[in-house]
Amino acid sequence: MEKIKVMLKNRYLTAGSSIVLLTIIAGCAATESPQLATPSPVAESSPPPIKPSAPLPVSAKSSETATNTKIQQYLNALTAQGFAKEDQGIWIQSGNTLLANYQGTVPLSAASITKVATSLVALQQFGPEHQFITLISTNGTIKNGVLKGDLVIEGSQDPLFVWEEAIALGNALNQKGIKRVTGSLIIVDKFYMNFELNPLQSGELLKQALNSQIWPSEAAAQYQTLPPNTPKPQIVIDGAVKVLPARPRAVPLVKHYSLPLAELIKKMNQYSNNLMADMLADTVGGAKTVAQKAAAATGVPPAEIQLVNGSGLSEDNRISPRAICALFMALERYLQPYSMTVADVLTVVGKDKGILSERPLPKLAVIKSGTLDNVSALGGALPTQKKQTVWFAIVNRGENVEVFRTQQELLLKSFLKDWGAVQASPPELTPNPARSRKVSRNEIVP
């Protein structure tokens, strides 16, 4: 979504991609020193997550008069422009106080806000420190720079294995003493590269990435984003790319560890990457599983979260405004024991790059947006002086999403005028600075 066309058009991450996601990967494996001798642990020790002791959403029966009046004015303005009131939904709460509610319990098309549900369930399933491991092994022997045998790649659904990761992997294999492979490049299990789900095509991309002499322009452009003097891998693979149902007997050479899951989710949400979201939803069992587990985690009725995919790339994905707020709050509660906040997995306006960079949204708000052809949704946490952190969800449907965006922005600004803007993020909306040091890496197996 945001925009759908951008993500699909740039499936292979060209240099001009508006999601250059993945040039942004500060700390990806390709930016590390080529010295890979002493690996760090896969995951740090973390306390077990705690489940909410009570449902997160408040009662829908009563709300603050002043805020509700403002919402009615907002809706009346949309109606005056020809938009149907029944296509709009709003839920705003601060702590246990409901501030405004219009169709708050009605499931509506929420577009990319679906990714918040996917984020929550993936974190519950794997934990913030989980890293997807891609195992590189061989059934042959290495002598004088030549691997006589096959190079085997066993994936584990890493959703962010891109050119930079492949370049770093190639350099690690060079360190291992491999410059040529006489056999084939064998792909096993769910190995994705550049968001390509077809294992054969992912393998072809990897084969190019491992040999800088045959890099396409996209790979060469991404190499330019890496630190100066980063080596260029030189691995010639004589054979073809093959896909096998199971890994043949082979000796491990290198293990590639993705960014920790929390950082993967942050990147996904910053750039509203549909393919990453669908990959993550697949790892936990699919859209229905995401919907069921998200409803259980938030305490909302299951009917308020209806999903057909993990990205929101369908108007059949429906989430009530109340459930949207509950998803954000469930994320907050889940992350607390890990000394993390929602700012560690979502966009902080004015601080994080991404699809929200061009929108005049309140600084320091932690926000996820969603856009389809006829849907514009916005939700998250708004820090204020008088109301502390205000959780909000605005879901609009109609033929002009640009009007909706403008009106959403004006509404939030009007709230800040009433409640007061903050000059610094409150603790509950401040990211953990230690997360910025998290990286993906390659471990050379002795």
DSSP strand pairing (185-188 vs 389-397): unpaired
Count of other CB atoms within 10 angstroms of residue 29: 24
pLDDT tens, residue by residue, 196-212? 999 999 999 999 999 99
Three-state secondary structure along 327-388?
HHHHHHHHHHHHCCCHHHCCEECCCCCCCCCCCCCCCCCEEEEEEECCEEEEEEEEEECCCC
Say how far apart CA 401 and CA 354 lie, in whole Å.
19
Structure tokens at 72: 């009615």
Q: 299, 57 in Cβ contact below 8 A? A: yes
Which 3 state secondary structure label does DSSP give 126? helix
pLDDT tens, residue by residue, 45-68? 444 444 444 446 676 666 678 899
Average pLDDT for 63-79: 90
11 strand-pairing partners: none
Q: Report percent pLDDT > 90 for the chain.
A: 84
Measured at the alpha carbon of residue 267, what is the angle toward residues 223 and 317, in degrees to the nearest 5?
A: 130
Strand runs (DSSP E) across 374-436, as ranges?
Answer: 375-383, 389-397
Confidence of residue 194 (pLDDT cuts 50, 70, 90): very high
* Residue 390 buriedness (CB in 10 A; 0-12 / 13-18 / 19+): buried
Average pLDDT for 133-151: 97
Say how far apart CA 98 and CA 398 lie, in whole Å.
26
CA-based nearest residue to 185, from 150, 212, 215: 150
Q: 189, 153 in Cβ contact below 8 A? A: no
Q: 372, 111 in Cβ contact below 8 A? A: yes
Q: Please state, rounded to an integer, the average pLDDT across all residues of the chain.
A: 89
The predicted pLDDT at position 61 comes to 67
Average pLDDT for 70-89: 96
For the cut 60, the answer to whether the pLDDT of residue 309 exceeds it is yes
Say how far apart CA 252 and CA 8 lie, in whole Å.
35
Average pLDDT for 260-269: 98
For the cut 50, the answer to whether the pLDDT of residue 312 exceeds it is yes
DSSP strand pairing (347-348 vs 185-188): unpaired
pLDDT tens, residue by residue, 12-57? 332 233 334 333 333 233 323 223 332 333 344 444 444 444 446 6
The predicted pLDDT at position 12 comes to 30
pLDDT tens, residue by residue, 166-191? 999 999 999 999 999 999 999 999 99
Q: 379, 89 in Cβ contact below 8 A? A: no
Count of other CB atoms within 10 angstroms of residue 133: 15
For the cut 50, the answer to whether the pLDDT of residue 408 exceeds it is yes
The predicted pLDDT at position 66 comes to 87
The predicted pLDDT at position 364 comes to 98
The predicted pLDDT at position 57 comes to 65
Strand runs (DSSP E) across 189-240, as ranges?
Answer: 236-237
Q: Report percent pLDDT > 70 for the chain.
A: 86
Average the pLDDT over each of 48-52, 259-263, 367-371, 427-431 and give the range with the smallest value: 48-52
Query: What is the residue type of 135?
Result: L
For the cut 50, the answer to whether the pLDDT of residue 258 exceeds it is yes
pLDDT tens, residue by residue, 201-250? 999 999 999 999 999 999 999 999 999 999 999 999 999 999 999 989 99
Confidence of residue 159 (pLDDT cuts 50, 70, 90): very high
Confidence of residue 263 (pLDDT cuts 50, 70, 90): very high
Average pLDDT for 106-125: 98
DSSP state of 113: G
